[in-house]
């Protein structure tokens, strides 16, 4: 005789909903957005169906639509013109730069939208690296100084949270000190604390032309600063240091292949955890759906829910707009 039957709590959707351990909401989403120079311009990103580079005016229009759907946070990335790139990244803190003007335009149009600009030098670098290069190496501390200037310029433009994604050592402290000294006590830091050197970033780098350049004099990849994907204990080390330095939110990136890292970090800290459903994950799902191998809508909701189940509080995903419509 069987007395304990787990299937009793799966008998119908009402019962399954009653005992459900986690739920997905539009409030969980942050939408990454690519911005380009120009006016009334939009370019499709071939490897990311449904995702575009847009000029500022069309970006503002998209943000208004996102907010109307309940997506209340955006993560900004700039497609920087080649003539503005160098080895210092100085365009990154130009008060009249593309990022700064984008932040201002969104804040003016949608004041309650939470704006999280990316803080990293790779879109501004002639080498496609996240740091300044000297003698063939990415130098840490000078890069931190540049990142701090970049973060302050974002705060001056109206950013709510700055999001350093570079993985330099000590950059959270450098940014926090710079923000405090400049009077931006309420601007938060979302630190990419555990960002792995992953092969799942390909479509993103194509979208921004930010991949490391093929140059024998510089590192061919980002493995000297992004994490080794073989490691998990190292992620906790990175997280603890960033928490101590003043991070307000901790990011783990990529997403689906790293749910074990999310779960470990969730057990170790009380701060909010973000996870990035990166471009390669999005592209794989879309390619499979276009070939009829997956149900697009069901796969999106299932994968995003898995992030919540693992312990994430917020999800950076290119499917944010689509998921918001599905959840309605």
Q: Which residues are annotated as a binding site for Mg(2+)?
A: 238
- Residue 64 tokens read as 């208004």
Residue 22, classed as helix, strand or coil, is coil
- Distance between CA 75 and CA 246 in Å, rounded? 20
- Distance between CA 183 and CA 316 in Å, rounded? 28
| Number of other CB atoms surrounding residue 293 within 10 Å | 10
- Cβ atoms of residues 307 and 314 within 8 Å: no
DSSP helix, strand, coil percent of the chain (3-state; round to 5): 45, 20, 35
Catalytic one among 222, 253, 308, 321? Answer: 253
Catalytic one among 85, 107, 195, 321? Answer: 195
Instruction: Quote the Cα angle for 234-238-239, to 5°.
Output: 115
Backbone torsions φ then ψ of 15, nearest 5 degrees: -70, -40
- Distance between CA 207 and CA 185 in Å, rounded? 33
Which of these, 177, 201, 200, 199, lies nearest to 189 by C-alpha position?
A: 177
Residue 174, classed as helix, strand or coil, is helix
Binding residues: 238
Beta bridge partners of 67: none
- Distance between CA 73 and CA 175 in Å, rounded? 21
In sequence order, what are the residues at sequence separation of 6 or more whose Cβ sits closer than 8 angstroms to the Cβ of residue 216? none
Instruction: Quote the Cα angle for 77-259-200, to 5°.
Output: 45
Whether 195 sits among the annotated catalytic residues: the reply is yes
Whether 220 sits among the annotated catalytic residues: the reply is no
- Distance between CA 116 and CA 41 in Å, rounded? 22
Instruction: Kindly list the catalytic residues.
Output: 195, 253
């Amino acid at each position: 005789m069987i007395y304990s039957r787990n299937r009793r709590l799966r008998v119908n959707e009402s019962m399954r909903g009653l005992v459900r351990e986690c739920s997905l909401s539009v409030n969980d989403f942050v939408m990454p957005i690519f911005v380009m120079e120009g006016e009334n311009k939009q370019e499709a990103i071939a490897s990311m169906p449904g995702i575009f580079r847009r000029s500022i005016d069309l970006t503002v229009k998209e943000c208004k639509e996102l907010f109307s759907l309940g997506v209340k946070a955006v993560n900004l990335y700039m497609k920087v013109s080649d003539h503005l790139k160098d080895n210092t990244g100085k365009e990154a803190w130009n008060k009249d730069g593309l990022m700064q003007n984008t932040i201002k335009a969104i804040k003016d149009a949608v004041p309650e939208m939470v704006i999280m600009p990316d803080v990293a030098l790779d879109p501004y670098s002639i080498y496609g690296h996240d740091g300044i290069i000297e003698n063939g190496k990415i130098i840490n501390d000078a890069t931190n100084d540049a990142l701090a200037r970049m973060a302050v310029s974002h705060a001056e433009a109206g950013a709510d949270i700055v999001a350093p994604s570079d993985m330099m050592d000590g950059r959270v402290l450098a940014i926090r000190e710079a923000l405090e000294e400049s009077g931006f006590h309420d601007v938060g830091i979302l630190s990419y604390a555990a960002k792995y050197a992953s092969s799942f970033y390909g479509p993103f780098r194509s979208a921004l032309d930010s991949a490391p350049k093929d140059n024998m004099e510089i590192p061919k990849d980002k493995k000297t600063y992004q994490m080794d994907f073989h490691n998990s204990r190292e992620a906790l080390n990175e997280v603890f240091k960033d928490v101590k330095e003043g991070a307000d939110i901790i990011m783990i990136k990529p997403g689906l292949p790293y749910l074990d890292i999310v779960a470990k970090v969730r057990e170790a800290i009380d701060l909010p955890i973000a996870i990035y459903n990166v471009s390669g994950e999005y592209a794989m799902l879309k390619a499979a759906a276009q070939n009829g191998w997956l149900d697009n809508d069901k796969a999106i909701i299932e994968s995003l829910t898995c992030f919540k189940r693992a312990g994430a509080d917020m999800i950076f995903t290119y499917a944010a707009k689509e998921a918001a419509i599905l959840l309605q």
